Chains A and B, each alone.
Chain A
Amino acid sequence: MMIALRLFLSSAAFTAVLGTSYWFVAHDPAGTVLLGFMTAALLVIAAYMFVAERNAGLFADNENAAPADAHGERIGVFVLHSPAPFWIGVAVAGLMLGLIVAPAAAGLGLIALCFLGALMIVRSR
């Protein structure tokens, strides 16, 4: 995980340099803001990785690990089938098309979206 952390930190450092030099060379607010947001986003991700994953101790990162070492490790719930993704797609499409065609459809889509999202969260407990 340290590699991942280093990846995000070095990317943030790079874009900070890029953004700073861009401002001093071009004095363009639009591009500078965009690069600034990018740096901030990378730092946020890096911060999360540092706080949440620094003690991850993955078997994957152990060069000499054998597959059997991870036997019995609970890595999560892998759902193979779920109706939610398709209907969430429909709801999103309804929401977006509703913005063009009819706000009512957008409202319905939004409600459907919230319902499906809640359903997915509840069923994964």
Chain B
Amino acid sequence: MIAPPERHDVLSWFTSTDHKRVGILYMGTSLLFLLVAGLLAMLIRTQLARPDATLLGPEAYNAVFTLHGTAMIFLVIAPFGFGLANYLIPLQIGAPDMAFPRLNATSFWIFLFGGLTVFAGAATNDGAAASGWTAYAPLSEITVSAGTGQDMWIVGVAMVSVASIAACVNFVTTAFVLRAPGMTMWRLPIFTWEMIATSLLVFMAFPSLTATLLLLFVDRHFGGHAFDPAYGGSPILYQHLFWFFGHPEVYVMILPYFGVISEVIATFSGRPIFGYTGMVLAAFAIAGLSMGVWAHHMFTTGAVNDPFFSFVSFLIAVPTGIKFFNWIGTMWGGSIRYTTAMWYALGFLMNFLLGGVTGVMVASPPVDFQARDSYFLVAHFHYTLGGGSFFALFAAIYYWWPKVFGWFLDERLGKIGFALTFLGFNLTFMPMFFMGLFGMSRRVFTYPNTGALPGLNLVASIGAAFMLAGAIVFIANVVVSARRKVPAGDNPWHGYTLEWATTSPPPEHNFDSLPPIRSSRPLWNVEHPEAPQPP
């Protein structure tokens, strides 16, 4: 069969169902949302640099942090992971496309319109939603937050929720059904395995989000009282329903990036990922356990069984630790090449470790009684999602960019950007552990000019300026590299998984020919026919 020639016109991007195009659309869109959410963060840090600042009043500030959190969680970190999965899964398993290409593209457009809807709330009379990304009832009920912005938030997030479920249906089906001959499940690259685990989480958790949003909408507009105590409803119920989604969501936001780190460290160490089986089992252990910890976000309510959730939360540290030891084991005995991607992976390891151990801390209710809803918690989740996922996101960009576009991002600019980002990130978020311990609530538009808070906040805001500089360097890198277009070739990093066995960028059907697949590193077997399996 002769395929029609590949189209490159602008209109083709609106009709394309090619998983690579959909992946690029997802990743590009999430990076644009990252720019907006990052600028919102700069607004926050500028306001909080000095006590009693007047850049943002409480109304504006509350909308700013709501949009910042909503965007980072729903429109940046998770969708970039979906986009990466879209691009990579068929390539890594040796398939020509996703199992359901049109559903795939549809999920992108629904995600895009959902994200735009959330932000469109800012154009309404009462402004965007301002009840936090968690939108607790009764704060988000119609009696308290009467503006349309809250409704746009509900509807927009619901659309993103549906889109995410649709995307993950594709990932799981494709990984199960469209693997190339010889690509058994136990030969899948770690990234693909992590996406299978992520997809299971999405299936189990996102329906709860959609249901919660529906209930909230009915409460607001159709006379519902699910969360209204005056009619027998319960704000605690909202929290159960929300966090049953909300906690798995944070693992949806980290598992794909665990996969990225595994791929990057393995390639640049020149070794297979250490403890492959343990890595896969740990991914599913994390996913499964994460469904049972949700009320550790509710320790301070006094309304839940703290020991149950504390115990399961502690347990999650074990498979996470296994992954860490496996990553170190991959580096051990290797010959590590420090490309920009590897630097970001190293930054991930250093940052996420702190995020992880402080997570074990707040899993202890006595610690949580102080830390909950304080800047200590803000520091913890930024170290995991920012220092973790965000750094891995950039590792992924620097690692797979040559494959996607066929030319390199400049390595020197990349390393400068990394240094600025790593320094800025730690300057910004390390002081926050202390701010929280000292009594600074989160979601506050200002703080008093006493004690240690003014100094700590100033340091944090200076750190944010460094991160901004890192972002500017990245954008400059893209512009400069796009002009030079240094060709990358099929396998610029000497990787061993299947995506490196085709051209950069791959043809529309992905592979002109496939090598025989005899292990989780098919290209190693091609290179070393004398060693039939890696030890």
Contacts and interface: CB of A to CB of B under 8 A. Distances in A.
Given A80-B508, A84-B102, A65 B181 contact: yes
B182 A41 contact: no
Interface in B15-58: 15-18
Contacts of B460: none
A99 B7 CA distance: 37
A82 B105 contact: yes
B177 A58 contact: yes
B17 A85 contact: yes
Contact of B184 (A7, A31, A42, A60): A60
A88 B17 CA distance: 13
A99 B222 CA distance: 11
Contact of B117 (A25, A38, A96): A96
B176 A26 contact: no
B181 A66 contact: yes
Contact of A31 (B183, B294, B508, B513): B294
B101 interface: yes
B181 A31 contact: no
Contacts of A84: 102, 106
Contacts of B114: 93, 96
A86 B177 CA distance: 26
Interface residues of A, number: 57
A50 interface: no
Tier of interface size on chain B: 35 or more
A94 B196 CA distance: 32
A26 B113 contact: no
B308 A80 contact: no
A60 B179 contact: yes
B155 interface: yes
A118 to B, nearest CB: 13
Given A67-B513, A85-B15, A92-B159, 17 more contacts: A4-B176, A15-B288, A26-B308, A41-B204, A60-B183, A60-B184, A63-B518, A67-B182, A78-B96, A79-B101, A83-B15, A85-B105, A85-B106, A86-B15, A88-B106, A96-B114, A97-B155
Q: A-B pairs with the 8 shortest C-beta distances?
A: A89-B109, A60-B179, A65-B181, A85-B105, A26-B305, A93-B113, A59-B181, A85-B106
Interface of B: 3-4, 7, 12, 14-18, 93-94, 96-97, 99, 101-106, 108-110, 112-114, 117, 148, 151-152, 155-156, 158-159, 162, 176-186, 196, 200, 203-204, 208, 217, 237, 240-241, 244, 284, 288, 291-292, 294-295, 304-305, 307-308, 312, 508, 513-518
27 contacts: A7-B284, A18-B288, A21-B308, A34-B241, A34-B244, A58-B177, A59-B180, A60-B178, A60-B180, A61-B185, A63-B182, A66-B181, A67-B94, A67-B513, A69-B181, A75-B177, A76-B99, A81-B15, A81-B16, A82-B105, A85-B105, A96-B114, A96-B117, A97-B155, A99-B217, A100-B151, A120-B102
